[in-house]
Amino acid sequence: MPTPRAGATAPQTPASAYYKNCEAARAAGAAPIHIGEPGYRPELDRNKDGVACE
């Protein structure tokens, strides 16, 4: 595993996110989205297992 460079920061996840659909979530690199994570909403969780856009 590479060592982070000094001063490098991890990508920031917004405190809240909205994805129109799973295609948008995948394009943003956010899928799959687990319940409690930014961008999760029941409409994206087809089988109601707590994981959207799987």
Three-state secondary structure readout of the chain: CCCCCCCCCCCCCCCCCCCCCHHHHHHCCCCCEECCCCCCCHHHCCCCCCEECC
Look at residue 38 in the predicted model and tell me its pLDDT. 97
Q: Considering the domain boundaries, does residue 3 fall inside one? A: no
- Domain containing 33 equals 22-52
- Reference 51, options 28, 31, 25; nearest CA is 31
Look at residue 13 in the predicted model and tell me its pLDDT. 53
Q: Considering the domain boundaries, does residue 43 fall inside one? A: yes
| 47, two tokens | 């089988």
Asked whether the beta carbons of 21 and 44 are under 8 A apart, the reply is yes
pLDDT digits (tens, 9 = 90+) for 1-54: 555 555 544 445 566 899 999 999 999 999 999 999 999 999 999 999 999 999
User: Rounded to two decimals, what is the model's pTM?
Assistant: 0.71
Q: Considering the domain boundaries, does residue 11 fall inside one? A: no
